[in-house]
Amino acid sequence: MFENTVFGRLDQKLQHAIKDAGYTTPTPIQEKAIPYLLDGRDLIGCAQTGTGKTAAFMLPILNHLVRVRRPRHIGHPRALVLSPTRELAVQTAENVKRYSKYAQLPFACLIGGVSQYGQVKDIKKGAETVVACPGRLIDLMNQGILYLDQVECFVLDEADRMLDMGFLPDIRRIISKLPKSRQSLFFSATMPPPVLKLAGELVHDPASVTISPETPTVEKINQKVMFVAKSQKDALLAHLLEQHPEWNRVIVFTKMRHGADRVVKKLSRTGVACAAIHSDKTQGQRTRALEGFRRGDVRVLVATDIASRGIDVPDVSCVVNMELPLETESYVHRIGRTARAGESGAAISFVTHEERGQLKAIERLIRKSIPVDRDHPFEAQPDLPPPAWVAPMRGGQNNKGGAHGPHGKRRRKSFIGRRQVDFGQKRGGHK
């Protein structure tokens, strides 16, 4: 079936399952990581979601569980995958279900925000694999429902995101309950010093696999900046959606939860099918929004940075940054929701005068200037001085075209859009 690929080393039950799932050839990370993992090696993987990472670690783990059968002990799983967000945990668990459909390997997905009843029921059915978020996992451990003393394979997924979210104490507590003898897999999209330090504590004599660094991923995305007044951002978004009916899946990022809800409310008034996903939404609401987006029932998913990592939705046409992120690195993770698995994509950022400093930091991070698209009816005043990184100002220069007036006093800069148009208002003269 897969004789000439690494998939050919998997148990036949798993091969049949991935064939049903439409797998034909391994992705680069699967090609590199699976042989190490089948040999029982620990591994450090530097790869983003969307590269096939979940299959790269999950298939070898399930292969081990299939081929090395042991008596099931209720509440004592043999494999544990730790995820930073509920969405990523659910997505990973869905893949476990897909891959193990012929292998009869029970599993449980443990996430907060929903009742634990169904999760406890899955554990008591003899779940051999557990995919969990740290909070709910520790909660069930404290209740004496789950124990980690028989874990043979442990995966820490999206480790950098875990640390960003403040999970380090929980991670250390969980690791302390694991057996010393185990296979440990460590995955992260980036490897800053704190992440490398944690990796060193977790793995032993690891193999190392690095796939799709951030900059090459960004290169595949058609990035644009549109300068616009803050008051005109909603109108610009509506205009773009109207002008591009071919964008059937769009993710819009906002900084704040109330901002996401506001955008959904205003888009809904124009007849656009949309939904919001952020931490104030219940798990059921978030799941329904993502499922609707995947099916195509929801055209626009409005999200905070909770969804910028770990959500693999195929065929996202465009990512729109209504506001630039608070953390510069989040820009790469946001726009990475498009151009998945080698495909191309588009990313548009709405930038106000006040956000130009953040734009400069982003351009330094990705090592390229992002082209400015001025072909829209809501562009900010053209008499603004150019950004400092395009044409640096000389402090105190007394010329009328500079930042200082003829007497050396700092001039106030106007940043008002040329037209004040309410969201959804018809724009006469602009087609």
pLDDT, tens digit (0-9, with 9 covering 90-100), for 92-137: 999 999 999 999 999 999 999 899 999 999 999 999 999 999 999 9
Question: Residue 405's pLDDT is what?
Answer: 43
Question: Residue 308's pLDDT is what?
Answer: 58
Q: Assess whether pLDDT exceeds 90 at residue 142.
A: yes
Average pLDDT over residues 394-409: 40
138 vs 375 pLDDT, higher one: 138
Q: Assess whether pLDDT exceeds 60 at residue 388.
A: no
**61-70, 212-221, 382-391: the lowest-pLDDT one:** 382-391
Q: Assess whether pLDDT exceeds 70 at residue 422.
A: no
**157-171, 215-229, 235-249, 315-329: the lowest-pLDDT one:** 215-229
- Banded model confidence at residue 336, pLDDT cuts 50, 70, 90: confident
Residues contacting residue 429 through CB under 8 Å, at least 6 positions apart: none
pLDDT, tens digit (0-9, with 9 covering 90-100), for 245-263: 999 999 999 988 889 999 9
Which domains, ranges and CATH numbers included, belong to the chain? 6-212 (3.40.50.300), 215-366 (3.40.50.300)
Among 362, 359, 314, residue whose Cα is nearest residue 337 = 314
Q: Assess whether pLDDT exceeds 50 at residue 397.
A: no
pLDDT, tens digit (0-9, with 9 covering 90-100), for 49-66: 667 899 999 999 999 999
Contact call for residues 318 and 339 (beta carbons, < 8 A) = no
Question: What is the Cα–Cα distance from 41 to 35, expressed in whole angstroms?
Answer: 9
Residue 256, classed as helix, strand or coil, is coil
Percent of the chain residues topping a pLDDT of 90: 58
- Banded model confidence at residue 191, pLDDT cuts 50, 70, 90: confident
- Banded model confidence at residue 340, pLDDT cuts 50, 70, 90: low
Q: Give me 133's structure tokens.
A: 């978020």
Average pLDDT of the chain, as a whole number: 84
Contact call for residues 236 and 348 (beta carbons, < 8 A) = no
Q: Assess whether pLDDT exceeds 80 at residue 243.
A: yes
Question: Residue 230's pLDDT is what?
Answer: 92
Q: Assess whether pLDDT exceeds 60 at residue 364.
A: yes
Question: Residue 389's pLDDT is what?
Answer: 38
DSSP-derived letter for residue 229 is -
Average pLDDT over residues 179-190: 93
- Banded model confidence at residue 283, pLDDT cuts 50, 70, 90: confident
Average pLDDT over residues 259-268: 94
- Banded model confidence at residue 339, pLDDT cuts 50, 70, 90: confident
Q: Assess whether pLDDT exceeds 60 at residue 214.
A: no
Average pLDDT over residues 299-305: 91
- Banded model confidence at residue 174, pLDDT cuts 50, 70, 90: very high
Contact call for residues 12 and 22 (beta carbons, < 8 A) = no
- Banded model confidence at residue 394, pLDDT cuts 50, 70, 90: very low
Question: Residue 311's pLDDT is what?
Answer: 63
Q: Assess whether pLDDT exceeds 70 at residue 411.
A: no
> Between the CA of residue 365 and those of 165, 296, 322, 331, 370, what are the distances in Å?
21, 33, 20, 9, 12
- DSSP string of 178-222? S-SS-EEEEEES---HHHHHHHHHH-SS-EEEE---HHHHHHTEE
- DSSP string of 283-309? HHHHHHHHHHHHHTS-SEEEE-GGGSS
- Banded model confidence at residue 315, pLDDT cuts 50, 70, 90: confident
Contact call for residues 99 and 14 (beta carbons, < 8 A) = yes
Question: Residue 353's pLDDT is what?
Answer: 87
Contact call for residues 162 and 156 (beta carbons, < 8 A) = yes
- Banded model confidence at residue 45, pLDDT cuts 50, 70, 90: very high
Question: Residue 387's pLDDT is what?
Answer: 43
Contact call for residues 275 and 343 (beta carbons, < 8 A) = no
Contact call for residues 294 and 315 (beta carbons, < 8 A) = no
- Banded model confidence at residue 334, pLDDT cuts 50, 70, 90: confident
- Banded model confidence at residue 358, pLDDT cuts 50, 70, 90: confident
Q: Assess whether pLDDT exceeds 80 at residue 85.
A: yes
Q: Which strand (E) or helix (H) includes residue 371?
A: none
